[in-house]
Amino acid sequence: MVKLSVIVPFYNVRQYAPDTLKSLRANAREDFEFILVDDCSRDGTSDILSRAERELPGAVLAGHERNGGLATARNTGIDRARGEYLTFLDGDDWLAPGYYEQLVAAMDDLGCDFLRTDHVQCTGRARSVHRVPHGRRGVVLDPREAILPADRSTSVDYAYAWAGIYRRRLVDRGLLHFTDGLRTAEDRPWIWKLHREARSFAVVGLLGVHYRRGVASSLTQIGDVRQLDFLRAFDQVIEETARDPDADALLPKAVRTYCAVMAHHLGATGRFEPAVARALRSRSAAALKRLPRDVLTEVLDSMDAQRAGLLRRLRRRPVNARTVAA
C-alpha cells in the first residue's frame, strides 16, 4: 500500500533538478512514491529524470507528448498516483530531510481532508519564512470559515499547492485536479474550490519545502502572453463562487483578490512585451465589466487610492462587447 504520492513536474530545470531529486532521496520511505512528470523538457532535464527513475527509490517517470504547463503536468501526476495521501513539489524546489515523514504523521494524527504548512522562500542566498495566514494551528477546522474576512489575507491567498498534503478522497470527489491548460495562477481556482467544498482542514507549523523564487526560467519572471492566464484563473474563481449558496458573503473576497492581483500586474507593465501589455489592459478592462457591479464598487471604495484609481480608470475604458463576454 502506497502511503504518500509526491507529484513533481519538471520543465527545463536541468540546473536545479539534481538538488530537487537529492532532497526527494532524503525523504524516501518504502511506502512513498515520487511521480516525476517530464513536461517535454528540451534542456537535458529528461536525461536527469531517466537516471532518477533507476536510482531514486519509489520513482515513477511520466511524460507528455507536448508541453502542457504546470496544471496539466500536475493532473498527469494525480492520475498516476496510488497513495492514500498526495502532495506536490515543483521541479526547481527542494525539501528538508525527513520532512514528508513528519507531514504524513501530522495528517495521520489530525485525520482531515487537507493540511496546510508554512514554507521557506529562497531568493538567491536570502531565506525567509512564509506562514499560512491562519492563527489556529494543530486543530481541525471548517475550510469555508477560513476564506473570510474579505479585507485581510486568508488561507485562500496562500495558494501554493506544494505547501500541504491532501487525502485521496479529494481526488475521488473531483476537488484535487487543476484546470487543464492554465499557465499561471493555476493554484487560485484550485485553492478556492478546496476551501469551498472540502469538509475539513488544518494548519501546522512544519517547515520543509524550500521555494526557489526568482528563477529566470520561471513563468513569473517571463513577460509573455502566458502571464495573462491569471485573468482566466480568476474568472473561474468568480464564476464558481457566484454559484455558491454563500455567494453574497464570499464574492467580496474573491473580487477584492482579483482586483489586487490585476492592479499588481497593471502596475508592472514594463516587464511585459508591448503587445502583451496592451492585451493586459484591454482584457483587464473587460474583466472589470464582467464583475458584479455593486460588489466591485464596494471593493474599489475599500482599496487604497492608487490601486483604486488605476482600476476605476480602466473600468471606464470602452470595451468591445465580444471581449467583455469572453
Structure confidence by residue, pLDDT tens digits, 77-95: 999 999 999 999 999 999 9
H or E stretch covering 129: strand 126-130
Judge if 59 and 155 occupy the same domain: yes
Let me know whether 176 and 213 are in one domain.
yes
- pLDDT above 90 covers what percent of the chain? 87
Q: What is the pLDDT of residues 283-292, one digit of tens each?
A: 999 999 999 9
In this prediction, residue 233 has a pLDDT band, given cuts at 50, 70 and 90, of very high
Do residues 237 and 186 share a domain?
no
Could you tell me if 206 and 241 lie in one domain?
A: no
Question: Over the stretch 100-145, which tens digit does the pLDDT of each residue have?
Answer: 999 999 999 999 999 999 999 999 999 999 999 999 999 999 999 9
Q: What local confidence, expressed as pLDDT, does residue 224 receive?
A: 73
Residues 79 and 160 in one domain: yes
Q: What is the pLDDT of residues 185-225, one digit of tens each?
A: 999 999 999 999 999 999 999 999 999 987 655 444 456 78
- Which whole-number Å values give the CA distances from 226 to 99, 176, 270, in the listed order? 33, 23, 16
pLDDT at 322: 59
Total domains present in the chain:
2
The answer to whether the pTM exceeds 0.75 is yes
Per-residue pLDDT, 221: 46
Q: Give the domain CATH number at 172.
A: 3.90.550.10
Crossing angle (nearest 10°) for helices 229-242 and 187-197: 20
- What is the arithmetic mean of pLDDT over 259-271? 92
- Return d(Cα 212, Cα 96) in angstroms, integer: 13
200 and 244 assigned to the same domain: no
Let me know whether 140 and 229 are in one domain.
no
211: CB partners within 8 A, 6+ apart: 90, 93, 119, 120, 121, 122, 130, 160, 162
Residue 166's domain comprises 4-217
Same domain, 110 and 26: yes
Average pLDDT for the chain = 94
Residues 209 and 312 placed together within one structural domain of the fold: no
- Indicate whether 46 and 117 sit together in one domain: yes
Amino acid, single-letter form, for residue 289:
K
DSSP secondary structure string, 136-153?
--SS-B-GGGGS--TTS-
The pLDDT tens digits for 54-66 are 999 999 999 888 8
| 204/201 Cα distance (integer angstroms) | 10
Question: What percent of the chain lies above the pLDDT cut of 70?
Answer: 95
For residues 81 and 160, membership in a common domain is answered with yes
Q: What is the pLDDT of residues 298-317, one digit of tens each?
A: 999 999 999 999 999 999 98
Q: Are residues 146 and 191 in the same domain?
A: yes
Domain boundary (217, 247, 280) is at: 217
Strand partners, 233: none
Domain boundary among 201, 217, 233: 217
- Domain end residue (candidates: 202, 217, 232): 217
Residue 8 phi/psi, 5° resolution? -130, 100
The alpha carbon of 153 is separated from its chain's Cα centroid by a whole number of angstroms, namely 16
Give the residue from 31, 169, 172, 195 showing the smallest Cα distance to 111: 169
